[in-house]
Structure 1
Amino acid sequence: MPFTPDQIILRRYVRASRYTFVRPMRVVSDDDRGLLLWMPAGSEFAALSDADGRSPHDLPLDEMRQPHLAPKVWRDHDILVLMSPDAWHSTWWFFGKGGFIGWYVNLETPFTRHDGAVDTTDLVLDVWVEPDRGWEWKDEDEMAARTGHPWYFDSAMAEKIRAEGVRLIRLAETGAFPFDGTHLDFRPDPTWRPSTLPAGWDEEQPKARTAGT
C-alpha cells in the first residue's frame, strides 16, 4: 500500500542485524515514479556510533565497540529524497538558504516497505552532482576498505555498485531525469515543521540483511 502524503515515516538503513541510520521523513508523494520524502534542517534523526564516538564511516560495524543509535539533529540543509521502485540508489536534492545546492546519489539496495517505514542497506559509495552537473565520487576509500568484508560486499558486488554509480553519472552528464531540473523549484508546505523521532522508534529490530539481499 502506498504511503499517504504528509505522513511521517522512518527511512532506515540496515546492516546485518542493526539499524545504522533512522530518519523520520515526511511523504511528499508515493506513486509510479517513486517515494518522495522531505526532511528539513532541524529535524531529529538517529545514527549509529560506538563508545569511542566512531561511526560506520570510520570502521566496519563488527569492529565498533558497544555500538548504539544516538539521537542527533540534522544540520545546514533541507533534503528531498526520491526512492524509485526497485532502484539500487536514491537521489537527494539538497537545498540551502539560497536555494538548490546539488544532487547526492546514495547507492543503496532496493527498499522494502513496512508499517510506517522503509528499509534499505547503504552501499557506501556515493556520487555528488553539482548544479552544473559536474560530479565527483564520495567515500571511495571507505568502499575499498569494506570490499571483501562478509557484512558488506565482495568484489563482484562492488563492481555492480560502481556500475550503478556510473549509470547515474551518465544521466547527470546528459541532463536526464532526475537531473533534468525536476524538483529544483520545490517548496515545502509552510506548515511543515522539522520532523522528530516518534515514540518507540528504537524498539523494533531489523532482520539480518546484506548488500545482495
Structure 2
Amino acid sequence: MRRLRFGYGATVTFEPGSIVTRRYWRGGRCTWVQPMRVVADDADGLLLWNPVGGDVARLVDADGRNPHELPVDELRDPRLTVGAWEKYDVLVLMPPASAYSVWWFFDGGTFAGWYVNLEEPCVRHPGGVDTTDLVLDIVVTPQRRWEWKDDDEFAERVGHPLYFDRASADGIRAEGERVIRLVEAGEFPFDGTYTDFRPGPDWPAPRLPRDVEAAAVRGR
C-alpha cells in the first residue's frame, strides 16, 4: 500500500475494512461527521463506503436551518444532529491532494450516477479525514451528462470572510471545470470503474458514538 503524507506532521494510512470519520469544518466549527468504511487506500486515493441507513451528523440550528441555507456564523445555536443517510448507498473517492471528492450513488445496488463535491484537499489524522466543503458541486448522470449544483448558494458566499473571495471562487470553479473535462472524456474515475461495486456481505452500517459533539473535535 502506498503511504500518503498529509497534515498533523505524520503519515496516516487506513486499513481496508476499518471505520473512519469524514468531517467538514468551517470557521473552526465541525459542520458534518460521517462514519465510513474503508474500501481501499492506495495510489488512486482513499475510497470509502456508506450505505443507506448509516449514521451522518449535520449542523442544524435552533430554527432547523443548516449551512446550505445560511452562512455558518449566522446559524442560531447550531448543533450537530445525527440522522440516517438516505436514498442512495454511496462510494466516495478522495484522490490524493485533490480539491474534490467523487461519489458513486447506488440505488438498490444499481449505479445511479456520480456526484463531484468540490472541497479542500483532505487532511488525515488517526481517526479519519478532515476537509472544508467548497459549496459548488457537479451532478453527473450514468450517461455522463453533467450540471452544476448549488450555483446560487456558491455565488452568495463569495466575499464572506468564512468562505472565499472572488479569486478563490474563480479557482474553485476552474477546478470544477477541470473535473468536467474528465467527465466528458470518460476518463477515470468516470470511465465505469466501480459502477458495479458491491459491498461486503458482512458490512454493517457505520455508527457514530453517542456523544457526537465530542467525536467531532477528537483529533483536532
Within 5 A, what are the aligned runs for 1:95-110? 95-97=106-108, 99-110=110-121
On the 8 A contact 1:44/1:195 being kept in 2, the answer is yes
On the 8 A contact 2:126/2:219 being kept in 1, the answer is no
* Alignment: residue pair count: 208
Q: Percent identity?
A: 57
Task: Quote the offset at 1:23 in angstroms.
Answer: 0.2
Q: Quick one: structure 1 residues 111 and 92, their matched pair in 2 at CA, closer, same or farther if it must change by over 3 Å? A: same
On the 8 A contact 2:48/2:91 being kept in 1, the answer is yes
* 1:196 aligned residue: 207
Task: Quote the offset at 1:123 in angstroms.
Answer: 0.1
* 2:6 aligned residue: none
* 1:2 aligned residue: 13
1:24 to 35, 48, 54: 35
* 1:41 aligned residue: 52
* 1:53 aligned residue: 64
| 1:205 and 2:213 correspond | no
- Once the two structures are superposed, what CA deviation does each residue of 1:8-42 show, in whole Å capped at 9, x if it has no partner? 00000010111100000000011111000000000
Counterpart CA distance in 2 for 1:200 and 1:58 is 25
1:74 to 65, 80, 85: 85
Task: Quote the offset at 1:205 in angstroms.
Answer: 2.9
Task: Quote the offset at 1:206 in angstroms.
Answer: 7.7
Counterpart CA distance in 1 for 2:194 and 2:125 is 26
| Counterpart secondary structure, 1:202 | helix
Counterpart CA distance in 1 for 2:142 and 2:100 is 19
On the 8 A contact 1:16/1:207 being kept in 2, the answer is no
CA RMSD of aligned residues (A): 1.4
Query: Which runs of 5 or more structure 1 residues have no equivalent in the other structure?
Result: 209-213
Q: Quick one: structure 1 residues 199 and 9, their matched pair in 2 at CA, closer, same or farther if it must change by over 3 Å? A: farther
On the 8 A contact 1:45/1:73 being kept in 2, the answer is yes
Query: Which runs of 5 or more structure 2 residues have no equivalent in the other structure?
Result: 1-11
Task: Quote the offset at 1:63 in angstroms.
Answer: 0.6
| 1:136 and 2:147 correspond | yes
| 1:154 and 2:165 correspond | yes
Task: Quote the offset at 1:201 in angstroms.
Answer: 4.0
Q: Quick one: structure 1 residues 98 and 196, their matched pair in 2 at CA, closer, same or farther if it must change by over 3 Å? A: closer
On the 8 A contact 2:88/2:106 being kept in 1, the answer is yes
- Once the two structures are superposed, what CA deviation does each residue of 1:174-206 show, in whole Å capped at 9, x if it has no partner? 101110000011100011111110355421538
Q: Relative contact order, CA 8 A, sep 6+: which one is greater?
A: 1
Higher mean displacement: 16-25 or 191-200: 191-200
